Amino acid sequence: MTIRRFLGITLLATVAGCSQSDKPVNLGVTSDPSGIETATQQQTQVAVIQGSCPQVYLQDGTAVLQRYARGAKDDPQNLAYQVTLADTTRQCVINSSQLSITVMVQGRIVVGPAGASGTVNVPIRVSVLDGTNTLYTQLVQYPVTVPADGTAGQFIFKQDNIAVPGGSGGFTKVYVGFEDGPAKKRK
């Protein structure tokens, strides 16, 4: 009986130790010795459990962008570059009235036979929908560097401060994808 009690207490202590963090940020500790700043921050913004943060989806048919040289279309020999969006993540913070979302998407650019090094702007749209109701939408011309050596390059797209109402429904989703339109000039 004593051994079981000892093992039970040891197991509880181990589990409790696993759920703790020694990082001051996670404990709400700041450099403000008065504690006023910490208390104010805790009242105004609370990190949201990832399960409550809307998931990010790559919009169907918009995760790949191909640009061709000299106005050609669908000709592999005239492909200037191809950009692809892949992995996504997000982080949310909530205050008394709104949910603030930060979205990050990994991308990759590959130079085609008609491509050259430089910087191109790729049109990335971020939208937040609650069912069919649009809560947020923005088109960003994001600069991506085309590698000089003709290899593939990677980039991280980040959109901060996406503000939506704090009580948004359970059907809220974040969509990211390329906006199809005319190619932007190289810099």
- Whole-number pLDDT of residue 168: 78
- Over residues 86-108, the pLDDT tens digits come to 999 999 998 878 899 999 999 99
More confident call, 177 vs 150: 177
- Whole-number pLDDT of residue 38: 47
Task: Tell me the backbone φ, ψ of residue 10, rounded to 5 degrees.
Answer: -60, -45
Q: How many helices (H) and strands (E) does the chain have?
A: 3, 9
Place of tokens 């409550």: 52
Angle formed at CA 166 by CA 48 and CA 30, multiple of 5 degrees: 45
CA distances from 8 to 4, 12, 17, 18, 19 (A): 6, 6, 14, 15, 17
Bridge-partner residues for 162, per DSSP? 101
Mean pLDDT of 66-90: 90
- Over residues 34-43, the pLDDT tens digits come to 554 544 444 4
More confident call, 6 vs 73: 73
Q: Tell me the two tokens of residue 90.
A: 């997000």
Q: How confident is the model at residue 20 (pLDDT cuts 50, 70, 90)?
A: very low
CA distances from 75 to 6, 80, 158, 159 (A): 72, 10, 32, 33
Task: Tell me the backbone φ, ψ of residue 95, rounded to 5 degrees.
Answer: -120, -160
Mean pLDDT of 143-166: 91
**Nearest Cα to 106, choosing from 179, 155, 52?**
155
Q: How confident is the model at residue 187 (pLDDT cuts 50, 70, 90)?
A: very low
- Over residues 41-58, the pLDDT tens digits come to 444 566 666 667 899 999
Q: Tell me the two tokens of residue 174.
A: 């974040």
Question: Model-level pTM?
Answer: 0.70
- Whole-number pLDDT of residue 82: 95
